[in-house]
Structure 1
Amino acid sequence: MSSERTPLTVRVFVAIAGTVALLLLGAAGGMLIKVPSDQRVETNPTPVDIGFAQDMSVHHEQAVTMATLARERAADVAVRQLAFDIETNQRGQIGRMQGWLSLWNQPAQAAGAPMEWMADSGHGGHHGGGSGGGLMPGMASTEELARLQKLSGPEFDVEFLRLMLRHHEGGAPMAEFGAQRAAIPAVRNLAANMLGSQKTESELMRRMIAERGSTPLPAS
């Protein structure tokens, strides 16, 4: 079957699954190598470590889906390059987080409401608006994703940038919480890296949106 006929979500799932498999193999091989303490992933995670890895994986998966679409469809080469960077970075981060969950013998996704692990800060158990049901902050609804898939040309570029900017900024509090409160150094470091890289990308997207005569979406 050609890639043009393969559903986008299937292609994203296959790519992510391959990343996770490679990372798990790397983790097994890494047992023979001395790993720096700030990169070592202990086997006694707290609910924050587990919840961050589970929910941020889900949050990232939607970003990868949108970025994959933009990499293939965006009219502007600058938008395609940004989409490639986001897809590559977040797919790799999903692989790390899912690898940790496997090592911890934890499910890939949380069974309860999203962000329950942040409950003590007042951010837990978020249920987003729209028809998506249980969406975490910044995530696009089913209707918004369907509309994006129907757009083309400069109109697609602008809407992708607006959705991705909101997505990045919506996930920032979760990354900040993980960076401050996760018990495992490798989890804290990854969350802090997400904050830094996504802040830079968000600033770029704000400029790109303004250059195209549009404005950011309201926070969700």
Structure 2
Amino acid sequence: MTDAARRGPARWLPYAGAALALCLAVLALVAMTASRADGADPDAGSADAGFARDMAVHHQQAVELSFIVRERTDDEEVRRLAYDIINTQANQRGMLLGQLEAWGLPKSSQRPPMAWMGHDMDTDYEPRDGALMPGMATDTELDRLRKAKGKDAEVLFLELMTEHHRAGVDMAQGAVDLADDPLTVRLAQGMVRGQRSEMKLMADMLAARGAGSGR
């Protein structure tokens, strides 16, 4: 049996795990929503809704980056980190979209990204080359990762994901400070803790590969 054949079933594990994570996220959201005290739901212009929409987009790219690197390296440490990111952020993304659904709000908006944080995207950040928000990889960087292999792919992924997490932590902290819905605040707090922990891990992984923590 060839190496590719032996790895065949394993290549599908992240997809199955992400699907399971989404199912668990929906179940968890239903349970939390059922236990929530009665009160007015956030409106479309709230920090809660803005955070849910923007972080869902941010998480989607993190999942995409993680799937790409799993195809570009056989390093088990990097593949394990990517697998964890896929499952964690697919789960959280499902919860964010589920919240919008529960509130009866659209999953997209005509408002600029991060306007709910008081950011002026004309002066604070200029979307470019597919990177809609701070920390997001550009289309060019995604193409570079798809073409890289081995250690080069590992280092590029870790650098891109470090920037992605750094901006994600800033956004999640914004939700902790500005959101009103208790579930949103707790979810954002968990993101801050989890992504800070992964940033420390990625700094160590980059150092072990003779690279820094920035692009």
If the length of structure 1 is used for normalisation, what is the TM-score? 0.79
| Cα shift at 1:48 | 0.3
Equivalences, count: 198
Which residue of 1 is the match for residue 84 of structure 2? 85
Contact 1:41 1:184 (C-alpha < 8 Å) held by counterparts: no
Which residue of 1 is the match for residue 182 of structure 2? 185
Runs of 5+ consecutive residues of structure 1 not aligned to the other structure: 1-10
Work out the CA distance in 2 between the residues paired with 1:139 and 1:41.
36
Work out the CA distance in 2 between the residues paired with 1:216 and 1:26.
34
- Please list, as runs of the form range in 1=range in 2, the aligned pairs for 1:1-220 lying within 5 A after superposition: 23-24=25-26, 30=31, 35=35, 37=36, 44-46=41-43, 47-119=46-118, 123-125=119-121, 127-128=125-126, 130-132=128-130, 135-218=132-215
Give the CA RMSD over aligned residues: 2.8
| Cα shift at 1:115 | 0.4
Contact 2:72 2:148 (C-alpha < 8 Å) held by counterparts: no
| Cα shift at 1:131 | 2.1
| Cα shift at 1:41 | 8.8
Cα distance per residue 1:61-81 (max 9 Å; x no partner): 000001112233323110011
Which residue of 1 is the match for residue 9 of structure 2? none
Work out the CA distance in 2 between the residues paired with 1:41 and 1:18.
30
- Which has the higher mean CA deviation after the structures are superposed, 107-116 or 176-185? 107-116
Cα distance per residue 1:87-124 (max 9 Å; x no partner): 100000000000000111112122221101011xxx34
Work out the CA distance in 1 between the residues paired with 2:104 and 2:19.
17
Contact 1:67 1:84 (C-alpha < 8 Å) held by counterparts: yes
From the superposition, tell whether residues 151 and 90 of structure 1 become closer, same or farther in structure 2 (CA, over 3 Å).
same
Contact 1:175 1:195 (C-alpha < 8 Å) held by counterparts: yes
Work out the CA distance in 1 between the residues paired with 2:25 and 2:208.
39
Work out the CA distance in 2 between the residues paired with 1:82 and 1:53.
24
- Which has the higher mean CA deviation after the structures are superposed, 64-73 or 79-88? 64-73
| Cα shift at 1:54 | 0.3
| Cα shift at 1:172 | 1.5
| Cα shift at 1:44 | 1.4
From the superposition, tell whether residues 19 and 82 of structure 1 become closer, same or farther in structure 2 (CA, over 3 Å).
closer
If the length of structure 2 is used for normalisation, what is the TM-score? 0.81
Runs of 5+ consecutive residues of structure 2 not aligned to the other structure: 1-13
Which residue of 1 is the match for residue 8 of structure 2? none
Identity of aligned residues (%): 38
What is the identity, as a one-letter code, of the residue corresponding to 2:153? F
